[in-house]
Amino acid sequence: MKKLGKYSMGMGDRFGHQGYAQLKAIMEAAKNGVGITPVWNKSNREHMIIGTQPQDVRKEADAVTGAAGFTEPYFVDADHINLDTVERFIPASDFFTIDVASYIGKRADDSKIDTFLDRVKKYSGRIEIPGIKRTIRCSADQLWGIAENYLYAAGKAGEIYRKIEKSKGAGNFVTEVSMDEVATPQTPLELFFILLMLGEEKVPVQTIAPKFSGRFNKGVDYVGDPSQFAAEFEEDLMVIDHAIREFRLPSELKISIHSGSDKFALYPHIGSILKKHDKGVHLKTAGTTWLEEIIGLAEAGGEALDFAKSIYIQALEKTEELCAPYADVIDINVKMLPSAGLVRAWNSRKFASSLRHDQSNPDYNPNMRQLIHVAYKLAAQDMGHFFRLLDEHKEIVSQCVFDNMFTRHIKRIFL
């Protein structure tokens, strides 16, 4: 069976130019004694906007690992696929993030609900989960609600899994189930029963991505109470541990955090809880390499700085259109976006420090950062120019990508 290591990291590289810099961060972690399995992820949405194919991600991953002589396992993740989109990802991917978000809340057949409720009645009342000290109550109503919300979705996860398995063969790919792109977080109790359902569906789930409390906006820090997150995260780990034993799930099953990158307020909590319980994690980051590319180009100055500025200025005019597909995962205060006139006069340092996620720098502007994060479509429309600049300023850009990955993410969680 294909397996991830204890620690793995999902990395997005929208334009396929930064794989080597990302891998270098992984290799630097190894030099510091921490093995992390690299996973290159790209969602259908990103492929559609840029006009790439899943095969392109595979080619990049094979090329950079080959060139670096990287002999450890690595994966290509069909990120957030469902029954409608999985097909074209099958040949090139060996990690599948089965996204059941759109199926949650749909109702399974009465007969299936009845069978489920019958099967779980022994849990009604109070559930003991080793490692969790508080009493977790579980009423008949709650069980009913969980069946109504999640049973259909678990069935769909089974259907999608079997479709992939039929083509690729059991054990030849990693299976993740994700439920993070929904409005309501799943409680540890819900997670427990969702894992039971996946066990019944015989989905050999190796990573599970719940939605946590608080906001996980793309490319910026966590919004919410980090200590509440920590408590929830720790309970989820205990639930997973218990579910592995109770529901015969793969022993390597671990939690997956769809972080949207840059959750600096959470990283110390995540790191210490993982160490406390000796648990693994899959940390999925977003396509923020694109932001590092723009920061690098801004630092390079001249034509490259002009290009970075033009992306921002165009984005200002198309804010609504660019933000629409990402409405649930960004929060931009448009009043805090600097005007085109202002930005035109900026130098390299001012532009780069407005965009770089360094909270100690007074120039840092999370609104501008989020807008540029979703503005990659504009670079896709001027790809020849963009790629030429990336090639001309390869060194400075890849240093930005590496620093971001290693210093701001890996070091804060794993080292």
Question: Rule CB under 5 A: which residues touch Zn ion?
Answer: 180, 258
Shortest Cβ 308–Zn ion spacing (Å): 27
Cα–Cα distance between 391 and 395 in angstroms, integer? 9
CB of 180 to Zn ion, least distance (A): 4
Return all residues near 25 (Cβ < 8 A) that are at least 6 apart. 401, 402, 405, 406, 409, 410
Decide whether 267 or 312 has the Cβ nearer to Zn ion: 267
Least gap, CB of 141 to Zn ion (angstroms): 29
Task: Outline where DSSP puts E strands in 188-299.
Answer: 207-209, 254-258, 281-284
For the chain, how many residues are written? 415
Residue pair 195/249 in contact (Cβ under 8 Å)? The answer is: yes
44 vs 365, beta carbon nearer Zn ion: 44
Tokens representing residue 193 in the block: 């029963």
> How many Å apart are CA 41 and CA 14, to the nearest integer?
9
Q: Output 258 or 409, the one with its CB closest to Zn ion.
A: 258
By beta carbon distance, the residue nearest Zn ion is 258
Instruction: Give min distance, CB of 116 to Zn ion, in A.
Output: 26
* C-beta closer to Zn ion: residue 4 or 355: 4
Q: Smallest distance, Å, CB 285 to Zn ion?
A: 11
Tell the residue number behind the tokens 């005007």, with chain if given.
Answer: 339
- Gyration radius from the chain CA atoms: 22
Q: How far apart are CA 43 and CA 114, in angstroms?
A: 36
DSSP state of 94: S
Closest CB to Zn ion among residues 258, 356: 258
Q: What is the largest CA-CA distance in the chain?
A: 69
Q: Which is nearer to Zn ion, 180 or 293 (CB)?
A: 180
Strands 125-127 and 136-138: antiparallel
CB of 258 to Zn ion, least distance (A): 3
